[in-house]
Amino acid sequence: MSGPWVQPVDASASEAIAAISDELAMFDDWMDRYEYIIEMGRSLPSFPAKWQNDAHRVPGCQSQVWLEAHEEEGNLFFAGASDATIVNGLVALLMRVYSGRSKAEIENTDPGFLHELGLVKALSTNRGNGVEAMAQAIRARARA
């Protein structure tokens, strides 16, 4: 499968979270971590312009964020994008955790890891709320 769908690079959501935690721990301060997250966003597959509309928009985000999902062989694959550079990186981070997983694994992967990684605290209140809204939108899609 190609196109806009993010392919999993880690064997499970929990392994993705552990890998992201290890990667972020390599940096001494949040400015370097932000740069790393921004780089993650640059690696996202291109998100089709035709999906950059209200039907795909994630409510609760300060920036514009769009998500789409595709089910294949029992797994949900996500595509996502934002009009803000740092938020695009946060989309990529969430895609790494959730895309290509079963609905059950997505539902069982609590977005509390965003707090454990220190992301929500390190972001502005609006951005922190937005990344949590993205995670909830992904999990809601798995429940649908």
Query: Which residues are the active-site residues?
Result: 61
Q: Which residue has the tokens 């509309």?
A: 53
Q: Please, what sign has the CA dihedral across residues 52, 57, 61, 65? A: negative
Question: Cα(127)–Cα(124) distance, rounded to whole angstroms?
Answer: 5
In this structure, the dihedral spanned by the alpha carbons of residues 94, 99, 101 and 103, taken in order and rounded to 10 degrees, is 80
Q: Are the beta carbons of 68 and 56 closer than 8 angstroms?
A: yes
Q: Which residues pair with 66 in a beta bridge?
A: 57, 81
